Chain A
Amino acid sequence: MTSAPMTASAPRAEFRAAGTDLSERRRSGVSKGPLIDLAAAPDTIGVTWGADGAATIGALTSIAAIGADPRIAAAYPGIAASALGLATPQVRHLATLGGNLAQRSRCWYFRDPHIACLKKGGSDCPARTGNHLYSVAFDLGPCVAPHPSTMAAALLGYDASIATSQRPAISIGELLGDGSNGTSDHALASDEMIRGVRLPAPLPGERALYKRAISRSHAEWPLAEVCARAVVSSGTFQFIRITAGGIAPVPLRLAACEAALQGKPASAAVIAEAARQAGSGANPLPMTGYKLDLLEGIVHDVLERLAM
C-alpha cells in the first residue's frame, strides 16, 4: 500500500548478500538507503575443513549448499537439518548463511511500512499491546518479535564462533545480544560484515536432530523450533545440548532441559520430565502461551528419537 513509509533505520548503507530478506523490505519501503553488494571472496564462500575435523563456513555460502553438503551432514547433522528445514528450495538456493544470521525481524508490525515500531525508530512495540500471536514466549526485552534465524539457533548449540570484518571470533550471543535491545536484530556495527562461521570439531559419537512446529507441512516460519545434539552411550545422556528458536528475541539454550538429562538414563520417564522443563523461565504474552506447549512437544519428540 501507499503513503510515506516508516523506515527501519536512518538511511545508511546496508550490505546485500543474496537479497532474499532485503529485497522484500526495499520493495515495501521499510528499508531504504544505499546498498553495498557483497562479492564472494575465497574465504567467504564454501566450506573448509581443519585437520581436527572442524569446519569453517563462508558467510556467502548458500543455505542450500550447506544443506546438501554430505560432510556437514555427517559432522554437524543439526546444521544440515536446520538448513534443509528453513524457507523453500528456491529461497535456500539463493539465501546465504551470513544473511540468515543478520536478517531482520519477520514481525508483521515491523514489515508493515505504515506502522511505527521500535525497530523503525518508534517509541514502543505495537505487537506487545496488539496482535502478537506469533511473538515471543520468553519476554526478554521491549520488542516481542522472536529472532527469525533458524541457523543462529543451531549454531548456538554448536558453540560456533563468528568471524567478522572487525572481530576475529565472536559468539552467537555476542552477535545477536541478549534480547534486551529492542531496536535491532543483531549487534553488528554498521560497517561490520560477517565473513564466516567456525564450528568446533564434533564430539565422537554425537547425533543431532532439528524440528519445528508449524501448522502446515512445509515452508512456514516456525512457531517454535529446536535443534538438539546428544551423545548417548550405555543408555545415558553423556552430552546434551538443546537450543530453540521462534520463542524469544534471541535463540535460547534450554538449560533446564539439559540439566534434567545430563548424565541421566535415556528413559521415557527422564525424557518426559526433561521435556516438561522446556518452558522453564518463560513469561509468555497473553497470546503466546501455546508456544510453550509446542516447545515441550518438540523437545519430547527430538529427545525420544535421539535416545533410540
Chain B
Amino acid sequence: MSTMTINGRLAPLPDDPDALLVDVIRDDLDLTGTKLVCGAGVCGACTVLVDGAPVVSCLMPARAAANTKVTTVEGIGATQLHPVQKAFMAHDALQCGFCTPGFVVEAAAFCDSWRRDKGTAIPSREEIGAALSGHLCRCGAYDGIFNAVAAACAGHFDGVDPNPPRVEARQKVTGSAKYTVDIRHDGQLEGVLLRSPFPHARITELDLAPALALPDVSAAVSLLGDDRMVRYVGDPIAAVAAKDRKTALAAIAAIKMTSECLPSVIGLDAARKPDSPVVFEKSSRKKAGNVSEGAGGPAPWKGNVRGPTAAFSQKPKKVRSWVESARQAHDPLLFEATFRTATQSHSCLEPHAAVARFDGDSLTVHVSTQAVFHLMELIAKRYKLGHDKVRVIADHVGGGFGSKASFGIETTAAIDLARAAKAPVRVAFDRHEELSVTGYRPATEIAIALLPFEQGDLKALSLTAHADTGAATNSTIAALARLIYPAQAKQLADYDVVSNLPPGAPFRGPGGPPMAFALEQAIDEAALRMKLDPIALRKRWDPNPNRQRLYDWAAGLDVWRNRKTSAAQTGRYRRGVGVASGYWLYLWQPGVKIELKVEGGRLIASTATQDIGQGSRTVIANTVAHEFGLEPHDVDVRIGDSRLPEGPGAGGSRSTASVIPPTLLAVQKLKDAIEQNARRKPVAGSNAPWREMIAASPDLCVTSVRPEDSKPTAPGIRSPLKDAGFMGMIFGWMLRRFSNLAVGAGVPSSVQVIEVEVDTWLGHVRVLNVQTGIAVGKIAAPALARSQATGSVIQGLGYALYEARETDPRSGSVLSAGMEDYRIPGIADTPAISVHFDEAGFDHVLGGSVGIGEVATVPTSPALANAIRNATGIRLTEIPIRPDRLISALKGRTAA
C-alpha cells in the first residue's frame, strides 16, 4: 500500500485508481477544511500543497500523491497562524468562508515564495490577481483578499495576533468551521437523487427494487408528487442512500422506470406562443415554485403566461394614450426600448445539502439553510412532529443569496432516506445540480417607455416585464418601478412565462436588478436627450431624502465631474463613467427574540438565526459589546440552531433590522437585572465597570422581542408602500400576514458611479473603479458592512458582464452547469471600490440600522451599461455584456 505524508503524518492511500486526493483528504482523513466545490479545477476551493506547490486536489488522482508531502489548510496554521491567515482575519477577507481555506493555502504559498524572493516589497494588484486566478469567491470578498495578501507579503502580520472584525474569522481561516457538507455521524450514508432526463413526462412506473437489491444500498424512496409528473430536466424522481456516493450512483442507475413523454416548451419566447404545450394545468398550478421573497397574490393565467399583475399601476390608460400621441408626434423625448437580462445562478460555493438523523422519534437535521427556525417549523409540519422533536442546525453556511430560504428537496430527501434506512443520511448536491436545479434569478425581457413633460418633469412611465421563471411564478419586477421616480401616470405589468425549465428562486433583491437595468438606462437616456446631467435629473425626479443625499455625494465625485463625452473618444480603448440608483425595501421580521444571559460571568446572546456570510454573529456581538463597553470577543453569540429563541431568516436583508432592536432591549433588561442583583457597585472611576459587574454577577437570563418601530419624524421618511396607494397597503398587509415580514418606513438606497474602459477590438470591458454610496442607517459592523457592499458590487458586475445560464433549446438541459461555463467574477476582475456610508435616515428604528445585502447590488448593472454608453456612444440593452455582444454592437450587428 502506498502512503503520503499529510500535515506531517503518514497516511495510507487507497488502491482504487479513481480515488481522488480531495476525497481521501475529506472522507478518509476527515480533514474537512479542504472543500470540494466545482470538482473541475476551476474554483480552487480544494487547493492543497503537494511538495510545497498548490494543486487542485479535486483533479489529482490519490495515487499520484504517493510519497509526497501534502499540506492542507489544517497544516498551514497548525502550530501558529500563518501571516496570511492573520491578514485575512484582520482585513475581513472572507464572508461565508467556504472559499477561504483554498485561498489561504494558495496565498500562504505565494506569500512565502514572495518573501523569499522579494523581502517585504508589496506585490501589485496584478501580481496578486494572477497568483490567485485559480480561485473563485461567490461572496466577492476579493477587495479584502487583495489587501490581506499585500499586507501579509509586506510583513505587517509577522508578529501580531489580530483582533478580527468578524467573530468567527479564526475558524474560517483555519478550516475548522464546520459546514453542513462537513458533518459526519457514525454510520452515515450518502444519498443521491435520480433526476428526470425528460423535460416533461409522466412517470408511469417506478421500480426501486433493483436499486435496493444491490449490496450496501440501504434505502430508496420515491420523490414523485401525486401527479407523478416531471416538468424539467433534473426534476427529482427518487433518491437512494448507500454506503458511499459511488454505490449510490450505481443504485440510481439500476432504478427502472417507464414514462410517458409529454410535449415540452423551453424558454421565454417559445412558451409565450399561444399554441405552446402547457406546463401546469389549472389543477397543478400551485405546484409551481416562487421566485419572490413574499407569497404571491392571485393573477390571471393564459397558457403558460401568468399575468398581468399590475396592481401597482397608476392611471395606466393615460400612459397608453400619452405614449401613443408622443409616438405619433415623434416626440424626441419619448424613449422606448426593450431590455433583456440573463438568468443568474446563485452558485453558492457550498451546495444545497442536508444531513438528517433520527434518535428515536427526535430528528436532527443539519441543513445549509438561510432559515433554521422557519425550516424547523416546516419540517415539523410536514412530518407531523412536535417542534421539540425537530432540531435544525446550521453553524456555518457557505453562501445562500436567496436560494437556501425554502424547504428544499435535499432536506426532504435526506429525512425520508434517514427514516427508511434507520441511519443518518447526507444529501449534498453536486455542482451540476447546484448550477442547474437549485434556483436562479429569472431572465427577463422588459419593454419600457418613458415620457417627460416638455418642461422637464416626469409624465409617464411604462414597464412591461416578462420573466423566464421556468417551473415557478410570482416575479415582481415592473411593479418595483412604482416606488421610485413619481410620475403623473405609470403602467406597470408583470408576467411570468412558465416553461419546462427548472424553477427560479429569490435571488438578492428579487426583481430589483433587472428593473433597475431597464429603468436606470431609460433615465440616463432621458438626461442625454434633455441635455441634463444624469445626477441632476435624478435629483429632480426622485424626491427620496436618502437618495437626495447620495446624489449630492455622487455629484461631487472627481470621477463624475471629470468625465468626458463619447464623442471625444475614437481610439481602441475608450473610457466612460455611468451612474445609477437603486433601492430595496426595509424589511424586518416580527416576533424575533433575543435571549441574553450572564452565565459563569460571561455574556451569551442567543437567537435562532444563521450566518450565511452576512455577519449576524458579529452584528449581535458588536451591539452587545458596545452597550456594555466591552470588546466583541467578550460576548458569546449562539446562533444556527432552531432550539434557540425564534430568530430571523437571512433574506430580504432583514437580519440586521430584526436582531439589533431586540438586542438593545435585552441589553437594557439585563443591565437592570445585573444591577439589581449586584452585591456591590463597581469601583468609582473604573474604565470597564460592566466587566467587573458581569464577572461578579450571578447567572441571569432575559429575553426581548423585536419591538415595532417608532413614528418617523424626519421629513419624507415613511413606508414606501404608502406611495403606492391602496394596493401598497394591501401588499404590506399580505407580506406581514403570509410571509411574516414587516415593511418599515424609510427606503434603503444606493447610488453607484462606475468608470469603465472598453477595448473596442476585443469587446472587453475593464471596470476601473466603482464608488458605491449606500444609505442603510447606522453601520453596526463597519468592516463587515464594507465587505457586503463590495461583495454586492462584485456580484452585480458578474450579472452585468459575465453570468448567464445557458440551456439546450430543445430539452432545457442546463449546459452551463460547470463553473468553467457559468462564469462568476474572479479576483482580477475586481476594480478599486470605494464605499460611502450615509448613516442617516433610520432614526425611527431602534439602533438606527437596516440591512444592506440587497440594495447594494441593485444599481450595478445599469451604472455599468450607462458607463459603456458614455464611453462608446452605444447603449447595450442586453446583459451580460460579454465580448460577443459588445463586439457585435460596436460593429453595428445584432448578436446571436
> Could you list which residues of chain A lie within 8 angstroms of chain B, going by C-beta atoms?
1-4, 16, 18-20, 23-24, 26-29, 35, 37, 87-91, 93-94, 106, 108-109, 111-112, 114-115, 126, 130-131, 133-134, 213-221, 223, 286-291, 293-294, 296-298, 300-301
Contact bitstring B799-824, A, C-beta under 8 A = 1, else 0: 00110001111110101111011010
Q: Which residues on the A side are within 8 Å of B759 (C-beta)?
A: 297
- Cβ of B432 to closest chain A Cβ, rounded Å: 5
Is A215 touching B133 in the complex (CB atoms < 8 A)?
A: no
Is A2 touching B20 in the complex (CB atoms < 8 A)?
A: no
- Answer whether A20 and B59 are a contact pair too, CB < 8 Å, given A213-B883, A294-B887: yes
B134 close to A (CB within 8 Å): yes
Binds A, one of B37-45, B389-397, B531-539: B37-45
Q: Which of A20, A90, A291 has a CB less than 8 Å from the CB of B47?
A: A90
Is A90 touching B891 in the complex (CB atoms < 8 A)?
A: no
B130 close to A (CB within 8 Å): yes
Is B884 touching A87 in the complex (CB atoms < 8 A)?
A: no
- Cβ of A267 to closest chain B Cβ, rounded Å: 17
- Answer whether A219 and B42 are a contact pair too, CB < 8 Å, given A20-B56, A290-B883, A294-B887: yes
A-B contact pairs, 27 of them (CB 8 A): A2-B193, A2-B194, A2-B252, A19-B61, A20-B41, A23-B59, A24-B41, A37-B63, A88-B133, A90-B44, A91-B41, A91-B56, A93-B53, A94-B56, A108-B806, A108-B815, A133-B884, A213-B764, A215-B880, A216-B802, A216-B826, A218-B129, A287-B896, A293-B763, A294-B762, A300-B761, A301-B762
Q: How far is the CA of A230 from the CA of B891 in the complex (A)?
A: 29
Closest residue of A by beta carbon distance from B17: A35
> Could you list which residues of chain B lie within 8 angstroms of chain A, going by C-beta atoms?
17-18, 20, 39-42, 44, 47, 53-56, 58-61, 63-64, 106, 129-131, 133-134, 192-195, 197, 233-234, 249, 252-253, 430, 432-433, 436, 759, 761-764, 801-802, 806-811, 813, 815-818, 820-821, 823, 825-826, 828-829, 880, 882-885, 887-888, 891, 893, 895-896
Q: How far is the CA of A26 from the CA of B252 in the complex (A)?
A: 17
Is B896 touching A289 in the complex (CB atoms < 8 A)?
A: yes
Q: Which residues on the A side are within 8 Å of B253 (C-beta)?
A: 2-4
Is A91 touching B195 in the complex (CB atoms < 8 A)?
A: no
- Cβ of B842 to closest chain A Cβ, rounded Å: 37
Is B59 touching A91 in the complex (CB atoms < 8 A)?
A: yes
- Cβ of A88 to closest chain B Cβ, rounded Å: 3
Q: Which residues on the B side are within 8 Å of A2 (C-beta)?
A: 192-195, 249, 252-253
Q: Which of A16, A214, A301 has a CB less than 8 Å from the CB of B61?
A: A16
Q: How far is the CA of A216 from the CA of B233 in the complex (A)?
A: 30
Closest residue of B by beta carbon distance from A28: B432
Q: Which residues on the B side are within 8 Å of A91 (C-beta)?
A: 41, 56, 59, 134
Q: Which residues on the B side are within 8 Å of A287 (C-beta)?
A: 884, 896
Is A293 touching B887 in the complex (CB atoms < 8 A)?
A: yes
Is A131 touching B762 in the complex (CB atoms < 8 A)?
A: no
| 4 tightest A-B CB contacts, nearest first | A88-B134, A297-B761, A218-B133, A287-B896
Is B826 touching A217 in the complex (CB atoms < 8 A)?
A: yes
Is B60 touching A94 in the complex (CB atoms < 8 A)?
A: yes
Q: Which residues on the A side are within 8 Å of B59 (C-beta)?
A: 18-20, 23-24, 91, 94
Closest residue of B by beta carbon distance from A301: B761
- Answer whether A218 and B828 are a contact pair too, CB < 8 Å, given A23-B58, A297-B761: yes
Closest residue of A by beta carbon distance from B53: A93
Q: How far is the CA of A144 from the CA of B775 in the complex (A)?
A: 50
- Cβ of A4 to closest chain B Cβ, rounded Å: 5
- Cβ of B207 to closest chain A Cβ, rounded Å: 14
Q: How far is the CA of A215 from the CA of B808 in the complex (A)?
A: 22
Q: How far is the CA of A112 from the CA of B431 in the complex (A)?
A: 12
Q: How far is the CA of A227 from the CA of B809 in the complex (A)?
A: 34
* Interface majority SS (helix, strand, loop, mixed), chain A: loop
Is B54 touching A290 in the complex (CB atoms < 8 A)?
A: no
Q: How far is the CA of A4 from the CA of B823 in the complex (A)?
A: 28
Is B194 touching A26 in the complex (CB atoms < 8 A)?
A: no
Q: Which residues on the A side are within 8 Å of B825 (C-beta)?
A: 216
Closest residue of B by beta carbon distance from A107: B815
- Cβ of A165 to closest chain B Cβ, rounded Å: 21
- Cβ of A210 to closest chain B Cβ, rounded Å: 14
- Cβ of A259 to closest chain B Cβ, rounded Å: 22
Q: Which residues on the B side are within 8 Å of A131 (C-beta)?
A: 806-809, 815
- Cβ of A44 to closest chain B Cβ, rounded Å: 15
Besides the contacts A219-B133, A223-B883, A287-B896, what 4 more A-B pairs have beta carbons closer than 8 Å?
A19-B61, A88-B42, A290-B887, A294-B762
- Cβ of A126 to closest chain B Cβ, rounded Å: 7
Q: How far is the CA of A87 from the CA of B882 in the complex (A)?
A: 20
Q: Which residues on the B side are within 8 Å of A289 (C-beta)?
A: 888, 893, 896
Is B39 touching A218 in the complex (CB atoms < 8 A)?
A: no
- Cβ of B205 to closest chain A Cβ, rounded Å: 15
- Answer whether A215 and B17 are a contact pair too, CB < 8 Å, given A2-B192, A3-B252, A94-B55: no
Closest residue of B by beta carbon distance from A213: B762
Q: How far is the CA of A37 from the CA of B39 in the complex (A)?
A: 20
Is A109 touching B763 in the complex (CB atoms < 8 A)?
A: no
Is B887 touching A106 in the complex (CB atoms < 8 A)?
A: no
- Cβ of B714 to closest chain A Cβ, rounded Å: 43
Q: How far is the CA of A286 from the CA of B59 in the complex (A)?
A: 35
Q: How far is the CA of A298 from the CA of B572 in the complex (A)?
A: 12
* Most chain B beta carbons < 10 A, residue from A131, A216, A287, A298: A216
Q: Which of B106, B436, B764, B891 has a CB less than 8 Å from the CB of A215?
A: B764
Q: How far is the CA of A16 from the CA of B885 in the complex (A)?
A: 39
Q: Which residues on the B side are within 8 Å of A89 (C-beta)?
A: 54, 106, 131, 133-134
- Answer whether A3 and B809 are a contact pair too, CB < 8 Å, given A218-B130, A294-B763: no
Q: How far is the CA of A207 from the CA of B106 in the complex (A)?
A: 33
Closest residue of A by beta carbon distance from B136: A219
- Cβ of A173 to closest chain B Cβ, rounded Å: 28
Is A3 touching B194 in the complex (CB atoms < 8 A)?
A: yes
Is B806 touching A1 in the complex (CB atoms < 8 A)?
A: no
Q: How far is the CA of A134 from the CA of B60 in the complex (A)?
A: 27
Closest residue of B by beta carbon distance from A288: B896
Q: Which residues on the A side are within 8 Å of B764 (C-beta)?
A: 213-215
Closest residue of B by beta carbon distance from A132: B896
Q: Which of B17, B39, B54, B891 has a CB less than 8 Å from the CB of A27?
A: B39
Q: Which residues on the B side are within 8 Å of A130 (C-beta)?
A: 808-810
- Answer whether A23 and B61 are a contact pair too, CB < 8 Å, given A1-B436, A3-B197, A223-B883: yes
* Most chain A beta carbons < 10 A, residue from B55, B195, B888: B55
Closest residue of A by beta carbon distance from B130: A218
Q: Which residues on the A side are within 8 Å of B885 (C-beta)?
A: 290
Q: Which of A16, A219, A290 has a CB less than 8 Å from the CB of B895?
A: A290
Q: Which residues on the B side are within 8 Å of A87 (C-beta)?
A: 41, 134
Q: Which residues on the A side are within 8 Å of B433 (C-beta)?
A: 1
Closest residue of A by beta carbon distance from B257: A3
- Cβ of B741 to closest chain A Cβ, rounded Å: 34
Is B134 touching A219 in the complex (CB atoms < 8 A)?
A: yes
Q: How far is the CA of A26 from the CA of B20 in the complex (A)?
A: 11
Q: Which residues on the B side are within 8 Å of A126 (C-beta)?
A: 808
- Cβ of B793 to closest chain A Cβ, rounded Å: 16
Is A90 touching B54 in the complex (CB atoms < 8 A)?
A: yes
Closest residue of B by beta carbon distance from A297: B761
Q: How far is the CA of A2 from the CA of B233 in the complex (A)?
A: 11
Closest residue of B by beta carbon distance from A211: B762
Is B887 touching A88 in the complex (CB atoms < 8 A)?
A: no
- Cβ of A294 to closest chain B Cβ, rounded Å: 6
Q: Which residues on the B side are within 8 Å of A214 (C-beta)?
A: 764, 883
- Cβ of A1 to closest chain B Cβ, rounded Å: 5
Closest residue of A by beta carbon distance from B808: A130
Q: How far is the CA of A81 from the CA of B815 in the complex (A)?
A: 30
- Answer whether A290 and B56 are a contact pair too, CB < 8 Å, given A24-B41, A91-B134: no
Q: Which residues on the A side are within 8 Å of B817 (C-beta)?
A: 108, 112
- Cβ of A110 to closest chain B Cβ, rounded Å: 11
Q: Which of B197, B816, B895 has a CB less than 8 Å from the CB of A114?
A: B197
Q: How far is the CA of A35 from the CA of B764 in the complex (A)?
A: 41
Q: How far is the CA of A125 from the CA of B253 in the complex (A)?
A: 25
Q: How far is the CA of A23 from the CA of B58 in the complex (A)?
A: 8
Q: How far is the CA of A297 from the CA of B234 in the complex (A)?
A: 40
